[in-house]
Amino acid sequence: MRRIKVLIVDDSALMRELLTDILSSSPQIEVVGTAGDPYIARDKILRLCPDVLTLDIEMPRMDGLTFLERLMASHPMPVIMVSSATERGCDTTFRALELGAIDFVTKPALNLDGGLKELSDEIIAKVIGAFRAGVRRRSRSPVIELTPAQASAGIMENKTAACNSAYKVVAIGTSTGGAEALLSILCQLPADSPGIVAVIHMPPVYTKSYAERLNRSCHVNVKEAEDGDRILPGHVLIAPGNYHLTVHRTGTICKVRISDTEKVSGFRPSVDVLFHSCARHLGSNAVGVILTGMGHDGAAGLLAMSLTGAHTIAQDERSCVVFGMPREAIKLQAATQVLPLDQIPAQILRHGYALPAESGGSRAGGSRAGGSTGGAPGTGSSDTGPPGMRLQGPASSEQSRVQCRSLNST
């Protein structure tokens, strides 16, 4: 079997050496070269024809984002970003995912002692996953735009429905490719959507930045979950990195709990943990959605939800970046529906409100719902043309500045 050819692009010689050692330890991977900046990388891509690129963000002469954008326009290929776990690093990483990167890993510390094996396994798995995913053309679904009359009528209908099914909770799980997939779904939901809880495989720091980014882009309120937060209509709670998220119900009130218990299905947070808690505490008063991602996390949990009467949805292969988690759920016959990404929001609204079939999908957009989630006390000019992948001159500081923009303004 042919090994996966990888080119490592990083301005740090020590980091290039560390990544080379990590990736070369896998019998499935061959590091065919390294590059200290995008100009060297361009020449080596054309000469060595790598299958996957690992790309640093901050580099001399041209930053990683500018290079990624030009690369995807002229010579698209699977790219894994290697990013620092800082606030600025998070923002630029999410911008890289928008531009077409398959996934990202946190840059390993050069003095890392414990945990290097685990981090090495993650990097190797993501490179292999990126190779299998190939290059996917990504399209964003627009935010729903309705006339003022439609919006007013829709919001009133939704508020009535929400009162009649106050305990419906939508649980979403995803991994590789999920940052953009979840953004695409949430941006199409109105401000009074059913309450949503979500698990995405991301390290600490990133989940908070990701939730803030979603909150700037969507009609619904989005935040990183805290222990004791209530699940309310118009609000989305994202599991914090390295903590499991579970749903609990007391009478008419649904809350989340956060815990750092052992990893499940190889992950913390785990989609299986969230889904099993929904099956146990909510039964048919829940909707389960499993999106793009490597591995099998969430498949067994989605089956448990289905067996207790919840409506369950799996993203279809064509619209997935990696058809791993949905495929495993489908194999278990855990999914009531298998749908392309752009059809999932309408079904979330239809089954989240438990309305008749003819009402599904005609939901209104609108301004963000006010209020808090009520946490428990104490918790608080470039040339992108194809010929030779031309790169004209180092990017200026103005050109390389990256600003996080809301989807509503694009």
Domains of the chain by residue range: 4-137, 148-359
pLDDT at 283 over 90: yes
Give pLDDT tens digits for 198-257: 999 998 889 999 999 999 999 999 999 999 999 999 999 999 999 999 999 988 899 999
- Superfamily of structural domain 4-137: Response regulator (3.40.50.2300)
Q: Residues 26, 120, 175, 277: which is the catalytic one?
A: 175
Residue 37's contacts (CB-CB under 8 Å, 6 or more residues apart) are 9, 11, 59, 60, 61, 62
Helix (H) or strand (E) holding 120: helix 116-133
Give pLDDT tens digits for 3-30: 999 999 999 999 999 999 999 999 999 9
How far apart are alpha carbons 324 and 302 in whole angstroms? 14
CA distances from 166 to 63, 83, 222, 234, 251 (A): 48, 41, 19, 12, 11
Look up the pTM and report it: 0.77
Q: Beta strands of 210-349 (E only): which ranges? A: 221-224, 235-238, 244-250, 253-259, 286-290, 311-315, 337-339
DSSP characters over 217-230: H-SSEEEE--TT-B
Q: Are 131 and 4 in contact (CB under 8 A)?
A: yes
Q: Is 297 a catalytic residue?
A: yes
Q: Residues 184, 297, 306, 351: which is the catalytic one?
A: 297
Residue 148's contacts (CB-CB under 8 Å, 6 or more residues apart) are none
Whether the upstream peptide bond of residue 60 has omega within 30° of 0, thus cis, is no
Phi, psi torsion values for 175, nearest 5 degrees: -145, -120
Q: Residues 103, 201, 306, 311: which is the catalytic one?
A: 201
How far apart are alpha carbons 135 and 60 in whole angstroms? 27
Mean per-residue pLDDT of the chain: 81
Question: What pLDDT is recorded for position 113?
Answer: 55
Q: Is 175 a catalytic residue?
A: yes
* Tokens encoding 401: 């500045």
According to DSSP, residue 389 is labeled G
pLDDT at 364 over 50: no
Q: Same CATH fold, 148-359 and 4-137?
A: yes
Burial 14-32 (b: 16+ CB within 10 A, else e): ebbebbbebbeebeebebb
The confidence band for 115, taking pLDDT boundaries of 50, 70 and 90, is low
Q: Is 139 a catalytic residue?
A: no
Q: In one letter, which amino acid is 33?
A: G
**Level-2 CATH architecture, domain 148-359:** 3-Layer(aba) Sandwich (3.40)
Q: Are 201 and 293 in contact (CB under 8 A)?
A: yes
